[in-house]
Amino acid sequence: MTGVRDRVALVTGAGSPDGIGFATARLLLAAGAKVAITSTTSRIFDRLENLGGSADTIFAKPADLTKAVEVEELCLAIASRLGPVDILINNAGMVQESRDEPPVQFADMTAESWNYGIDINLTTAFLTTRAVLPGMIGRNYGRIVFMSSVTGPVTGISGSSVYSAAKAGLLGLTRTLAIEAGANNVTVNSIGPGWIETGSSSESEIVAGRHTPVGRPGKPDEIGHVAVFLASEEASYLTGQLIVVDGGNTIQEYKADS
């Protein structure tokens, strides 16, 4: 895949060493992109060291992406170091290292929990996309990838109403932006991961992954490779789509032990 070479990519939510964000950043760098990474904490500098690139090809800065001013500061810093963002991988969301939000039934959900879930999963993507999209349109090139989920757009899980709503919202945003920006050579797509084994996976999620047709949970790299393709010049005629990467889980009706 050569279609990301020398392009500037921003990958959000890249703080975990075994998460989808960091895997995607590593694969983009290997494919020749200049890569900026961010997360809410200073552990993002550990990931910068793990990437091992040169100062003119990698950049890291912590930021709270629910705050517009920090998003703007992040994008200005990236532009100053690497250049304006050509590729945006909106991976931030689901969980934050500093806060634990257990599943809760919708009838018991507080307004605070709802707002928090929408903020980390949907508002972050809104603010980062709003910050880079005008520049992409002006330069007549851009690739935007939202890390959605099968949960929300395709399936539902009890106790995950706000997560489902936010991830479905990303798909709606994907389709609208694909229409609005398509004439400017900006593509916008979503990835719908299924059961992917990361550092935040629970044992029950690992078990669920074993009940897919493939017989195992997915790996972060398996999502990252799809993200790199969607971020490439080769994917120029693919826009407004949800690419489900779930080991075939959503095509099967019966998922229990045989």
SS3 label, residue 108: helix
Report which residue type is found at 42: S
254 is catalytic: no
Contacts of residue 62, defined as CB under 8 A and 6 or more positions apart, other chains included, come to 38, 39, 40, 41, 42, 44, 45
What DSSP line would sit under 174-210, residue for residue? HHHHHHHHGGGTEEEEEEEE-SB--TT--HHHHHHHH
Report which residue type is found at 83: G
Q: How far apart are the first and last CA of the chain?
A: 40
Phi-psi region of 101 (alpha: psi -120 to 50; beta: other; left: phi over 0): beta
C-alpha separations of 204 from 195, 254, 255 in Å: 10, 17, 14
Interatomic CA distance for residues 168 and 113, integer angstroms:
18
Instruction: Identify the active-site residue in 116, 163, 237, 254.
Output: 163
C-alpha separations of 190 from 105, 122, 126, 206 in Å: 27, 13, 14, 23
Answer for the pair 42, 48: CB distance below 8 angstroms, yes or no: no
Cα 106 to the center of its chain, rounded Å: 25
Active site residues: 163
